[in-house]
């Protein structure tokens, strides 16, 4: 992962500012309340257009809606960074010195009309009694309409932070396709729909790759799920490696936060991220980037380097997997 902290950080900060100014031309809601489930700090409102439902079954003063979001986020970090040993964003080189992750629950229009958004740029944390002066934070916005027992958006957005901490690549077929695969860590079933044979061929035919590279979330079905099943057909998570607290954790409606002990391909995906960290250094030099600007992070020129990382990781887990060379792709 090419480290260009000043240039990349400046570009990310400018992008964040631009995004916020575009989606919040109207006055933004003031989030007066907060709830901490370390390392997550959930900020929310109890009146106004961003007000969350106020039901509070356990009468602890925190709305169930807020606690449910916090539970899902905490469980996602425990599963990915604890049980499955994915990189922890808060212990990464890119986010050295970051202490927490702030979650803003807002009316949907205040986060661009989406369910959730994870920002890559670290910033100064809001001052709260439970924090320390000078705390640094990563930021996720979640629509206040998102009901955690029915919607896996918080875990999906946390997985983006894992991706950001590992590689600067942000091409959508990788970023969203892989994150969609990750949802099954907490959701039902070990993997989603599979529309390409796990048997291959691997790499996929060259004429199919431009179609893949133009995908977003749907790339899950033709790349990420097939390779997950190919390398890990059973996808059973180890009960002995799963903390009892995580196994017993329930949403306010009584449903388990981790729905089953299934997730196909976790070891492969962890290795893919490690390969991406290596490939973005190679792409940075080969493509002549001066910094990891937002345009460079999303450039179509990145696609063959990302795909090579996937194939190089896949080859370590299964055969046969042919060679794929990013530098010669398309020539």
pTM: 0.92
Q: Please give the distance of CA 282 from its chain centroid, rounded to a whole number.
A: 23
Average pLDDT of the residues in 113-131: 97
pLDDT at 6: 39
With pLDDT > 70 as the criterion, what percentage of the chain qualifies? 92
Return mean pLDDT, the chain. Answer: 93
Element (H, E) at 137: strand 136-143
pLDDT at 238: 81
Residue 193 has pLDDT above 70, yes or no: yes
Average pLDDT of the residues in 319-325: 96
Instruction: Find where tokens 């109890």 sit.
Output: 46
Average pLDDT of the residues in 70-79: 98
Average pLDDT of the residues in 270-276: 98
3-state secondary structure of 41: strand
**Residue 52: which pLDDT band, with cuts at 50, 70 and 90?**
very high
Tokens matching residue 133: 């002066």
**Residue 248: which pLDDT band, with cuts at 50, 70 and 90?**
very high
pLDDT at 5: 47
**Residue 25: which pLDDT band, with cuts at 50, 70 and 90?**
very low
Residue 33 has pLDDT above 50, yes or no: yes
Question: CA 176, CA 41: separation in Å to the nearest integer?
Answer: 24
Structural domain of 98: 5-328
Separation in Å, CA 247 to CA 75, 86, 117, 229, 262: 9, 19, 27, 24, 13
Least confident of 7-21, 255-269, 296-310: 7-21
With pLDDT > 90 as the criterion, what percentage of the chain qualifies? 89
Closest CA to 176 of 127, 212, 147, 201: 212
Least confident of 74-78, 198-202, 305-309, 327-331: 327-331
**Count of structural domains within the chain:** 1
More confident residue, 8 or 251: 251
Instruction: Find where tokens 């973005």 sit.
Output: 280
pLDDT at 27: 80
**Cβ-contact 124, 136 below 8 angstroms:** yes
């Amino acid at each position: 992962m090419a480290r260009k902290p000043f240039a990349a950080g400046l570009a990310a900060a400018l992008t964040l500012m631009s995004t916020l100014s575009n989606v919040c031309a109207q006055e933004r809601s003031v989030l007066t309340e907060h709830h901490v489930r370390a390392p997550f700090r959930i900020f929310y409102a109890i009146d106004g257009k961003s007000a969350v439902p106020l039901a509070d079954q356990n009468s602890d003063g925190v709305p169930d809606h807020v606690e449910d979001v916090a539970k899902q986020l905490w469980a996602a970090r425990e599963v990915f960074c604890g049980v499955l040993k994915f990189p922890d964003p808060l212990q990464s080189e890119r986010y050295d010195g970051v202490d927490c992750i702030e979650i803003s629950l807002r009316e949907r229009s205040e986060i661009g009309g989406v369910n959730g958004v994870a920002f890559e740029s670290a910033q100064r944390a809001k001052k709260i009694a439970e924090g320390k002066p000078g705390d640094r934070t990563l930021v996720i916005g979640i629509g206040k309409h998102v009901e955690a027992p029915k919607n896996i958006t918080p875990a999906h957005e946390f997985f983006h932070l894992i991706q950001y901490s590992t590689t600067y690549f942000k091409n959508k077929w990788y970023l969203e396709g892989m994150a969609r695969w990750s949802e099954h860590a907490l959701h039902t079933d070990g993997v989603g729909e599979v529309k390409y044979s796990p048997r291959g061929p691997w790499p996929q035919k060259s004429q199919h790759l431009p179609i893949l590279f133009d995908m977003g979330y749907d790339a899950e079905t033709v790349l990420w799920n097939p390779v997950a099943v190919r390398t890990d057909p059973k996808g059973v998570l180890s009960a002995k490696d799963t903390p009892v607290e995580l196994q017993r954790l329930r949403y306010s409606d009584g449903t388990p936060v981790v729905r089953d002990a299934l997730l196909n391909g976790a070891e492969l995906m962890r290795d893919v991220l490690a390969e991406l960290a290596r490939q973005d250094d190679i792409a940075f030099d080969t493509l002549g980037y001066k910094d990891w600007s937002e345009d460079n992070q999303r450039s179509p020129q990145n696609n063959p380097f990302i795909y090579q990382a996937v194939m190089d990781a896949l080859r370590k887990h299964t055969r046969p997997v042919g060679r794929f060379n990013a530098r010669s792709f398309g020539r």
